[in-house]
Structure 1
Amino acid sequence: MRAVYATDLSSAIDTAIDSRVCLKCLGRYGIKEIDLITVTSPNVTTGMPGSDIGSRTKKGLERQKTQLESEGFTVNTHVVRGTPHRRINGLAEQVHADLIIAGSRGQSPLKQRFIGGTVKNLARTTVSPLLVQRIVRRDGSPAVANKHLFQRMLYATDFSENAERAFEQFKRTRTATHEATLLHVAPPERRAGDEKIEDAEERLESMAESLDEKGIETTTMIREGEAVEEILAAENEIDPTTILLGGRGRSRLRRLLLGSTSEDVTARADSNVLLVPPAR
């Protein structure tokens, strides 16, 4: 399996790539080959007199490539110009990537353009499952929020076709996932005894049984209210390492491709997010 790993060569991304635990989790997911990509602004000219941007970029990529190779991955590097999320998606389509990985925060001068804006745009447009890895600051230095990427999963479902597609990710994370919580958020007007609530309970239990058979300790949860707020409330209670959810819609309008729930959860969650786009 192959992953596209987006990097802005910042110390934040260095932290994620230097984490042997994180890399082992990717290995257990099935990733063997990584395409490391950095996107430079089309307004930056590496050949300008006195400019060392090209040299610094090359050194940064080689440093990260060496670290990934030391953990057994086959690594290809790419330096491209343009709009980050478009070039990342373009590479993912070109190499038929099984996963796109992007850090959610960073300390580079391109923080808002790459780490903030790029992840937001990838959440709208990703062509492959997108792993958003949370990088936080601890004691003044960047740190990975959750090293064990898939250890405790919070799966949110509305029982749509793409939510079911997202559930299939457990086939890839099963050797790395120890615990899972399956969550359905019902509209507030529904109450216990409602046929739809009972149907949701039965469907969650059936899904839980299939995970229990894989050795994953699984619980189910139904909450009432607004989807984003309830997913984030469940995250606060459960403290998962990763939230798993599917996007919705097939609109050609990129803003609508994955829908507001998945975008908002990706933007606001403290955990990692594994976001699965609709089938193409």
Structure 2
Amino acid sequence: MRAVLATDLSDAIETALSSRTCLECLERYGIDQIDLVTVTSPNVTAGMPGSDIGARTKRGLERQRRMLEEEGFDVRTHVMRGTPHRRINGLADRVKADLVIVGSRGQSPLEQRFIGGTAKNVARTASRPLLVQRILEHGEEDHEVAAEHLFQRILYATDFSENAERAFDQFQHLKHAAKEVTLLHVAPPERRPGSDPDAVADAEARLDELAAELGELGIETRTVVREGAAVEEILAAEKEFEPTTILMGSRGRSRMRRLLLGSVSEDVTARAHCNVLLVPPTGVR
């Protein structure tokens, strides 16, 4: 399987690349080939007299390539100019990547995290599964990944839509990495548990069916049905169960225009403390 890994050649990204545990998790997901890509601004001219931007970029990319190759990955490197999210997603489509990986740095481990501009735009336009890897900043030169065991504990949020089912299919790749899964459904306002017990029973039954499928894969599973606003309940479940990654589908609002994240997946991706694995709708290219 093949992944496109976006890098800005920063210390934060190197923190993630230097984590053997993170890389082993990618291997258990099935990744053995990585396209390492960095995108430079179209306004920066590497060939300007006295400029060594191009040389520094190549040196940084070569250093990170070696880090990945030392862990057994087959690596190709790409230096592109242009708008980062367009180049990253364009490369992913061209090489038929199974996964796109972007890092997102939080302001502080004690403050609310905000998804960076590039990560947000990649997520909004991604046509392939996207892992937003959270990297915590403790200072300009002090970083750590939010969770080294990327997929050890998964919080799967589902509204039972077709796209949510597509996200559930990711467990075929996660079965060798996931040890514990929480299956979460948040009842929408018009079908709150107190007012519609049948809807709750139906949701519980459907989650039990999914849990049985994961049980056959040897994954420990719990099911949870919550009442309230979807984003807040998903984030509350994150705080309670401490997943390493939240898995959910993202739904586009228009196929004729730029694909936008649904408000729930966008808000969760922006505000979650852990990694987020987003799966776009079928047929979005």
TM-score category (smaller protein): over 0.9
After the TM superposition, which residues 47-58 of structure 1 pair with which residues of structure 2 at under 5 Å, given as runs? 47-58=47-58
Moved more, 246-255 or 6-15: 246-255
Scaled by the length of structure 1, what TM-score is found? 0.94
**Structure 1 pair 256/87, CA: closer, same or farther in 2 (3 Å)?**
closer
1:134 and 2:137 matched: no
After the TM superposition, which residues 220-231 of structure 1 pair with which residues of structure 2 at under 5 Å, given as runs? 220-231=223-234
Give me the whole-angstrom Cα distance separating, in 1, the residues matched to 2:43 and 2:26: 34
Report the identity percentage. Answer: 70
Give me the whole-angstrom Cα distance separating, in 2, the residues matched to 1:59 and 1:106: 27
After the TM superposition, which residues 150-169 of structure 1 pair with which residues of structure 2 at under 5 Å, given as runs? 150-169=151-170
After the TM superposition, which residues 197-208 of structure 1 pair with which residues of structure 2 at under 5 Å, given as runs? 197-208=200-211
After the TM superposition, which residues 22-101 of structure 1 pair with which residues of structure 2 at under 5 Å, given as runs? 22-101=22-101
Find 2:222's aligned residue among 203, 206, 219.
Answer: 219
Give me the whole-angstrom Cα distance separating, in 1, the residues matched to 2:81 and 2:260: 24
- Report what 1:209 is aligned to: 212
RMSD of aligned alpha carbons: 1.6
- Report what 1:262 is aligned to: 265
Contact kept? 2:193, 2:199, Cα under 8 Å: no
After the TM superposition, which residues 141-152 of structure 1 pair with which residues of structure 2 at under 5 Å, given as runs? 141-152=142-153
Offset from partner CA, 1:172-214 (integer Å, 9 cap, x none): 0111100000000102452255222111110000101111111
Offset from partner CA, 1:13-66 (integer Å, 9 cap, x none): 000001000000000000010000000000000011111111110010000000
Q: CA deviation at 1:257?
A: 3.1
Give me the whole-angstrom Cα distance separating, in 2, the residues matched to 1:163 and 1:100: 18
Give structure 2 stretches of 5+ with no counterpart.
108-114
Give me the whole-angstrom Cα distance separating, in 2, the residues matched to 1:176 and 1:62: 29
- Report what 1:273 is aligned to: 276
- Report what 1:172 is aligned to: 173
* Displacement over 4 Å in runs of 4+: 253-256
Name the aligned partner's letter for residue 277 of structure 2: L
- Report what 1:111 is aligned to: none
Give me the whole-angstrom Cα distance separating, in 2, the residues matched to 1:265 and 1:123: 12
**Structure 1 pair 256/95, CA: closer, same or farther in 2 (3 Å)?**
closer
Instruction: State the SS of the aligned residue for 2:217.
Output: coil
Offset from partner CA, 1:69-101 (integer Å, 9 cap, x none): 001100000000111000001000100000000
Name the aligned partner's letter for residue 165 of structure 2: E
Contact kept? 1:179, 1:217, Cα under 8 Å: yes
State how many pairs are aligned: 273
Give me the whole-angstrom Cα distance separating, in 1, the residues matched to 2:269 and 2:73: 27
Scaled by the length of structure 2, what TM-score is found? 0.92
Give me the whole-angstrom Cα distance separating, in 2, the residues matched to 1:129 and 1:81: 23
Find 2:240's aligned residue among 237, 240, 255.
Answer: 237
Contact kept? 2:103, 2:134, Cα under 8 Å: yes
Name the aligned partner's letter for residue 131 of structure 1: L
